[in-house]
Amino acid sequence: MAGLTPAFHVESERIHHDHQVMLKQLTELELEFERLHCTADLRVASKIQETFRKMARLLPEHCLREETWLYATVAQVSAELATFAEEMKREHANVLAALNAFCVALDELPNFVDFAAAIRQLHEQGLDVVRVLRAHITLEEKELSGFL
């Protein structure tokens, strides 16, 4: 796009790359959740926990980069894109809260008396986080494809 700075292009390419990496991780997590649901294996739970903790560390910086570089720029293009950017910011807060709540639930796994019930709860809660994050990324990629 004309008028966009080289720094914007670098950041938007980085954001797009991050999205591709996260989408791959989300697919892997879905498979791990199915394994966990079928086997209730603590090693699988540990792998899920490790992946989510990593996401919980990296996602806030990614969201901030999107808000600073991508949303701030596209919001100036049109009122529709400004509205979209505001909605995506609100979604960031919701996604981060859901991700953090799930990480807390994972940390509590050893404290559950009914392990099978805990696995069912974590399975549902974790897949919800995966679905929300996948939908958010997919929508950003679709609506902002000319910028990413």
25, 54, 99, 148 from 9: Cα distances, Å: 24, 26, 28, 8
How much is the pTM? Answer: 0.91
Mean confidence (pLDDT) of the chain: 93
**pLDDT score at 116:** 84
Which residues contact residue 9 at a Cβ distance below 8 angstroms, ignoring those fewer than 6 apart? none
Please report which residue ranges of 40-78 form alpha helices under DSSP H: 42-65, 72-74
**pLDDT score at 16:** 97
**pLDDT score at 38:** 82
85, 124, 126, 135 from 119: Cα distances, Å: 36, 9, 10, 24
- Given a contact cutoff of 8 angstroms between Cβ atoms, the answer to whether 55 and 22 are in contact is yes
| Percent of the chain whose predicted confidence (pLDDT) is above 90 | 76
Name the DSSP class of 40.
-
**Nearest residue to 129 (alpha-carbon basis) of 18, 32, 13:** 32
Which residues contact residue 22 at a Cβ distance below 8 angstroms, ignoring those fewer than 6 apart? 55, 62, 133, 137
**pLDDT score at 3:** 72
Give the number of other CB atoms < 10 A from CB of residue 102.
22
- Average pLDDT value for residue range 67-71: 95
**Nearest residue to 72 (alpha-carbon basis) of 137, 134, 15:** 15
Domains of the chain, by residue range, sit at 7-143
3-state secondary structure of 138: helix
Write out pLDDT tens, residues 73-125.
999 999 999 999 999 999 999 999 999 999 999 999 888 888 888 888 999 99
Q: Does domain 7-143 have CATH number 1.20.120.520?
A: yes
The larger pLDDT score, comparing residue 49 to residue 3, is at: 49
Write out pLDDT tens, residues 20-64.
999 999 999 999 999 988 887 888 888 999 999 999 999 999 999
| Residue 2: pLDDT band with limits 50, 70, 90 | low
pLDDT for 1 beyond 70: no
